[in-house]
Amino acid sequence: MSRDWPALAIVPAIALLALPLMPFPTWVALTAAGAAMGMMLFLMASGLTLIFGLMDVLNFAHGAFITLGAYVAVSVLGWLAGWAGADSLALNLAALAVAVAAAALASGAAGVVFERAIIRRVHGKHLQQILITVGGMIVAEQLILAAWGAQPLQVAKPALLRGSLILAGAAVEKFRLVAVALGLLVFAAMHLVLNRTRIGLLVRAGVENREMVEALGYRIRRLFVGVFVAGTALAGIGGVMWAVYQETVTAAIGADMTILVFIVVIIGGLGSVGGCFAGAALVGLTANYVGFLEPRLALGSNIALMVLVLLWRPRGLLPLVRS
C-alpha cells in the first residue's frame, strides 16, 4: 500500500491543481464531466484489462463489442420509446437498464463465438493475437453495417435524463451522474467478484498455476471462457453509455474509441482493474481540464499524459502483480 499511495493520490491531486486555474462553478462542471467521461472509459476498458490480466490475451477487436453494444442500445431504446419518453424517472431508468442488459447479453454471446472461433487458436501467441483480432475487428464492423446499415443512427437520452442539475452554481448533465454511478457500481462489483468470491479465487489461481488448479478438479478452460465473455459484455455496456451520451451511433464508434481505451489500460497498468479505474478517471479529468484551459493541446493531452505516467512508472499506475 505504501508504494501505491502516490498513484492513488494522483487523480485528486490533478483535480486540486486545476481548481485555482478557473472559476469554482467551471471547475465543478469540468470535474463532473471528466468523472463521467472517465467512468464511461472505464466501462469500455475494464473488459480489455480483465481479458489481458487474467487470460494474457491482446484483443484488438475489443472495439467491435463496444460497437455492437451501441447498436443494440439503439434498437432496444427504439422499441422502448414509450418508457424512454415517459415523464417517469423509474421508467426512464428501466429503459436504460434493459438496453444495458440487452447489450451485455449480445456482446457476451458474440464473445463466446469469437473466443471459440479465433482466440482459442492463438492463445499464448501475442503477435498472432494482434493480427487476427485486428482482422476480426474489420469483419465485425462490416457485419454490423450489413445488419444496421451505413447511415448514422440517432439515439435520444431518456426524457428525465436530459438537461442539467445545478450543483454548487454549475450546470451538471443528469446523464453524466448516471454514468458515474454505473461506473462506480461496476468497479465495486468487479473488485468484489475477483477478491471476495470462490470464482475470483479460482480464476486468479488459474492464472498463476493452471496445472495445479486443474489437478484439483476444476475446469480452468471454462473459467477463462467466462472471463472473456464478461470482458466483452463490459465492452457492450460501455458502448451503450457512450452511444447514449453522444446521441449518435456509427459503425466506427468502437474503432474510434480503441486507441483511447488502450491508453487507459496502459496508463493504469496492463491487467490491473484498479489501475484501469484510476487511469480512466485521470484521462477523463485531464482531457476536460486541458480542453478548457488550452484547447489547442486537447488532442495531444492523452498521449502526453501516457508518456508522463510511463516515464514515472514504466509499468503503469497500479500494475498487476504476479508472483
Sequence spans of domains, the chain: 38-312
Which of 5-14, 66-75, 144-153, 304-313 is the least confident region? 5-14
The mean per-residue pLDDT over the stretch 145-162 comes to 91
Q: Are 317 and 278 contacting, i.e. CB atoms less than 8 angstroms apart?
A: yes
Coil, strand, or helix at residue 250? coil
- What class is the 38-312 domain? mainly alpha
Mean pLDDT calculated for residue range 50-59:
83
* Among 270, 262, 259, 265, CA closest to 299: 259
Q: How confident is the model at residue 170 (pLDDT cuts 50, 70, 90)?
A: confident
Q: What is the pLDDT of residue 2?
A: 46
* Mean pLDDT for all residues in the chain: 89
Percent of the chain with pLDDT strictly greater than 70: 97
Q: Which helix (H) or strand (E) holds 306?
A: helix 298-312
Residue 183's pLDDT band, with cuts at 50, 70 and 90, is very high
Considering the chain, what percentage of its residues have pLDDT values greater than 90?
63
Burial of 120 (0-12, 13-18, 19+ CB in 10 A): middle
**Strand-pair partners of 167:** 170
Nearest CA to 251 among 108, 137, 96?
A: 137
Q: Is 264 exposed, middle or buried (0-12, 13-18, 19+ CB in 10 A)?
A: buried
Q: Tell me what the mean pLDDT of segment 133-153 comes to.
A: 92
In this prediction, residue 212 has a pLDDT band, given cuts at 50, 70 and 90, of: confident
Query: Of 164-173, 216-225, 253-262, 264-273, which gets the smallest average pLDDT?
Result: 216-225
pLDDT value of residue 249? 94
SS3 2: coil
> What is the 8-class DSSP label of residue 59?
-
Q: Which residues contact 286 (CB under 8 A, 6 or more apart)?
A: 14, 34, 301, 302, 305
Is residue 1 very low, low, confident or very high in pLDDT (cuts 50, 70, 90)? very low
- Across 62-97, b (16+ Cβ under 10 Å) vs e yields bbbbbbbbbbbbbbbbeebeebbbbeeeebbebbbe
